[in-house]
Chains A and B, each alone.
Chain A
């Protein structure tokens, strides 16, 4: 398999600007019409531990990261030690020659396992355990090494602005590394300068100085290394309006569009970025103008033009979910956003929402568990828990998004389902999605429809001032005026209750109420169209049928493209609505499949278990990963190839990623 895209990596200590430099790189590439996919890996730490950012760019559509690095941009020694051997033959490493003598044992943040493995390499190859040694090892593997005298270039840059403080100049190190990278692949210098200026748009002097740093890097590379690196990167003409989005803001934007006006959260990685985005964009435009289809001017003119979302940082996740349910009781689209440990605390609250038929959306950013687990790393270990969290039985819908675009539209669906079926909806996203960045075609807000189900704003049929909130209806859904509606009152309770909402332990009433609530899942199963529940990719008949869910989607699709070129046909069933499960469709599809392969980022193959439970079809071949690093398209490609050749164990565990 040969890639014709470009995989770039930058690393450094957390808090040293790795993130912003990667964003500059990604935006410069995106502005040049290229397709970009980036992802970030970091420790549960504020400052000092190693973090790195991969940005993959291509003129064609890409949806995932790869493990091999075409170019590694560094400005300190730890990144060199950790990632130099990930660079492919004919790839490049950019580094500061002042680091040459830095020794491996002087880097306290490198774990003993990593250090021992590297030391073994040094001994085996007869090299000194320092930067020079590791770069020599890379050179022997065919990697081009590019020393860049950062300090000299920074001083030259500073002299043009009268800036002599070295610490001030060193804030431009990242940009220098980005610019040197682009210069080596002969990318348009102006696009890089533009991206830098945009990044520093609020600090004009810094913007100018960083743009000058870009110029200096280009000048140096042009004079010293012109034409030495074979890979070239050129802008292309992109079609249509494109966006460059950060994963953690996608769900937030969609929540605003969906009309979510109350969000609660307790700080947790990686979920709280979403709530912080909402806090920062709490005030929003609300458009009162009539639509083409609906020119009821008077009605819409009354709509207010400014709205806001109320975001509350609560004392814990129990408060977060129960406050959100309170918002739902008051008739407001409400949500909370969390990760595994917080979700565990929400179990009882979700049961209350189920029992009381309150719409509420819980956005669950799954991360490495159990317990505190791997708080900043990726895993899809919460699917079973999302399906079953809480005591007793209550209806819930569980949907899982596969990429950022899906996460956007699924967010709106989550609110629609929660109001239509008057219950809790768990929207599963994950760390890999939250910390990925990608170019996307313009989002189509015209595709978005809001369906509030039987939400009503008045009570006209109260008897003696009392309204039957849980009224018997043929399909189990009762009209839902919020608390505070004029014309009557009703009650809510976590106890079993009658139609008014008063406590009732009557067995006949209990039967009815259980059937009313649980029947809503059957109703959702009948009503929600298949295209909103599954995606199917590839030929109808294929050698391999992959079954997966969530953020493995992009890597699977990219791997399928390569496998197709190798003559291996693969199709892919992505389950998006896990409850109610699309049993009939999946049964029919899988009963025709030649070889079914379950691909999941967890230990046990949770979806595959659900598939067996629902369809009675066993999936014998599993590809799983639980080391906290998302699956790359390369390793899925290799895995499926191994399976195709009959060389894979029944449970193939993927291990890559630093």
Chain B
């Protein structure tokens, strides 16, 4: 029986503000999961803390709403313990690039086969609009008492530098395009990172839905020009097609250069993709061959009478002195 979009709705009350970009991301995610016909009981949505952290409660798969900044290590533990699960991680920009920045960087190094979606609205919504790590220097939203004193992080560049093997950006209100990106990210072999531009109608009055739609960004004829454009429409190709190191290097450089375009002309789509880097699961199987066939969650550690199935007699024999 095919999974329907409506099957993914839950009974939990959704308390996001009207007009929140999170709705677009949630809908795109549900559309993606339905289109992929995933088994909800084999799928885990893991989140951090904040408005986006509530997303699992609105999704009828297994949901693990974790601590502020820690969604990635929680998700890593779940996925490595049971690599057969489909794991999607969601969190805010403050969650992922502020309090969780260390995990963000090191998760790239591991390349566990999961998708990480950042709801990037440049503010800390649930605590009333403080500046988040992605907000640019000098920007002053209505929620701030003074212009932002910190420089903003470039999430795409940071992801590439950290070793993510699939790096993309979407826009919360281009739901179909975002849905396609989510599907690609889930299907990618390795750790996929998806930065999603997400208007916060309550606290970020600068990067609003209207802003991204082109308000004030007029062309010569005075027509508003949307501030996002699709990479694929320009012939951009960020995919590493061969194992050639030179190709990988040039694709990385291209993607990093591209990541500097932001504001009036902001690219969305896939910046970089490389499936030639082994996943963490593959690296583990290289160390312990049985990891693949008998991963942690599959191992029967005890017999029905409670006696352990693990045989440590070889270890004990090594220690024997008489």
Contact = CB atoms under 8 A, between A and B. Distances in A.
A323 B77 contact: yes
B114 to A, nearest CB: 11
Nearest to B69: A318
Interface string A486-498: 1111111111000
Nearest to A442: B316
Contacts of B313: 285, 445
A373 interface: no
A482 B79 CA distance: 12
Contact-residue size bin, chain A (C-beta under 8 Å from the other chain): 35 or more
A310 B80 contact: yes
Interface stretch (B183-191, B267-275, B301-309): B301-309
A1 B44 CA distance: 65
B77 A30 contact: no
B296 interface: yes
Contacts of B84: 484
B74 A501 contact: no
Contacts of B54: 503
B127 to A, nearest CB: 15
B179 to A, nearest CB: 21
A476 to B, nearest CB: 22
Nearest to A445: B312
A256 B322 contact: no
Interface string B262-304: 0000000000000000000000100111110111111111111
A194 to B, nearest CB: 11
A283 B78 contact: no
A286 B284 contact: no
B320 A241 contact: yes
A532 interface: no
A155 interface: no
Interface string B220-255: 000000000000000000000000000000000000
Interface in B164-206: none
A299 B303 CA distance: 9
A494 B313 CA distance: 41
Interface stretch (A54-62, A75-83, A242-250, A619-627): A242-250
B67 to A, nearest CB: 5
A632 B296 CA distance: 42
B290 A304 contact: yes
Given A31-B321, A256-B310, A443-B316, A308 B304 contact: no
Q: Most B CB atoms within 10 A — which of A296, A331, A459, A466?
A: A331
B290 to A, nearest CB: 4
A315, A331, A501: residue with the most chain B Cβ atoms closer than 10 Å: A315
B150 interface: no
Contacts of A287: 309-311
A316 B100 CA distance: 11
Contact of B81 (A326, A492, A493): A326
Contacts of A492: 63-66
B299 A261 contact: yes
Interface in A496-532: 501-503
B62 interface: yes
A291 to B, nearest CB: 5
A299 B309 CA distance: 12
Please classify how large the interface on chain B is, using the bins under 10, 10 to 19, 20 to 34, 35 or more. 35 or more
Contacts of A352: 66-67
Contacts of B67: 322, 348-349, 352, 494
B310 A325 contact: no
Interface string A243-278: 111000000010011110110100000000000000
Nearest to B85: A484
B42 interface: yes
Contacts of B297: 261, 330-332, 482, 484
A191 B290 CA distance: 40
A348 B299 CA distance: 29
Interface in A17-57: 27, 30-31, 33
Interface stretch (A91-99, A117-125, A447-455, A577-585): A447-455
Nearest to B102: A315
Contacts of B33: none
A238 B320 CA distance: 12
B61 interface: yes
Contacts of B300: 286, 303-304
A256 B316 CA distance: 12
B49 interface: yes
A552 interface: no
Contacts of B79: 326
A290 interface: yes
Contact of B102 (A256, A316, A334): A316
A282 interface: yes
A490 B62 contact: yes
A315 B106 contact: yes
A300 B302 CA distance: 10
A330 B77 contact: yes
A308 B294 contact: yes
Nearest to A307: B299
Contacts of A465: 40, 60
A488 B315 CA distance: 41
Contacts of A486: 39, 41-42
A308 B290 contact: yes
Contacts of B218: none
B51 to A, nearest CB: 12
B82 interface: yes
Q: Counting chain A CB atoms within 10 Å of each CB, which of B67, B103, B105 scores highest?
A: B67
Interface in A325-341: 325-334
A450 B302 contact: yes
A445 B11 CA distance: 49
A324 interface: yes
Contact of B309 (A303, A310, A318): A303
Interface string B45-64: 00001000010110011111
B176 to A, nearest CB: 26
A253 B85 CA distance: 29
A485 interface: yes
B41 A488 contact: yes
B216 interface: no
A299 B293 CA distance: 19
B105 to A, nearest CB: 8
A352 B74 CA distance: 11
A291 B81 CA distance: 28
B76 interface: yes
Contact of A259 (B39, B64, B65, B299): B299
B296 A484 contact: no
A109 interface: no
18 contacts: A243-B319, A253-B316, A258-B308, A281-B315, A286-B311, A299-B304, A304-B298, A322-B67, A445-B316, A446-B307, A449-B307, A452-B302, A482-B82, A483-B82, A491-B64, A493-B63, A494-B67, A502-B12
Given A450-B302, A501-B63, 4 more contacts: A243-B316, A293-B307, A329-B77, A483-B85
Interface of B: 10-12, 39-42, 44, 49, 54, 56-57, 60-67, 70, 72-82, 84-85, 102-103, 105-106, 284, 287-291, 293-316, 319-322
